[in-house]
Amino acid sequence: MEFIRLANKLIHLTVPELQQIQRDPETTALEQMLIAVIIKATNQGDDKRLTFYLDRLLGKVPDKIDLTGNQTINFDDISKEELDERMEKILRRLKRVNESTTKRGK
């Protein structure tokens, strides 16, 4: 739990703020390591470091998403407009789920 609190705190700081903390002799080894990852990811644009960091902070994104459900759609009976409306509704739901999941991870 301490890791999550610390990682959340550090990821919201600017690089100069992180460097100042890094220079402090009282900074813990864990803080030093996390700061080093953030600074390298920022300076080098290293998405692998960022992914590593966020996977530990928020949890790894599932490789597969189960989209099974109990609804069946007979496409012969649906107009293009109705199909578009249903797709928009589904996309809005997915966006809300994604936003709420993201907020819980902060």
Mean pLDDT, the chain, rounded, equals 79
pLDDT of residue 80: 81
Q: Which amino acid is at 85?
A: E
**DSSP assignment of the chain:** -HHHHHHHHHHTS-HHHHHHHHH-TT--HHHHHHHHHHHHHHHHT-HHHHHHHHHHHH-PPPS------S----GGGS-HHHHHHHHHHHHHHHHHHHHHHHHHT-
pLDDT of residue 106: 53
80-105 average pLDDT score = 79
- Digit-coded pLDDT (tens) for 13-61: 999 999 999 999 999 998 998 898 888 888 877 677 777 767 777 677 6
pTM of the model: 0.49
Q: Which two tokens stand for residue 12?
A: 């919201």
pLDDT of residue 20: 95
Q: In this structure, are residues 8 and 57 in contact, taking their beta carbons and an 8 Å threshold?
A: yes
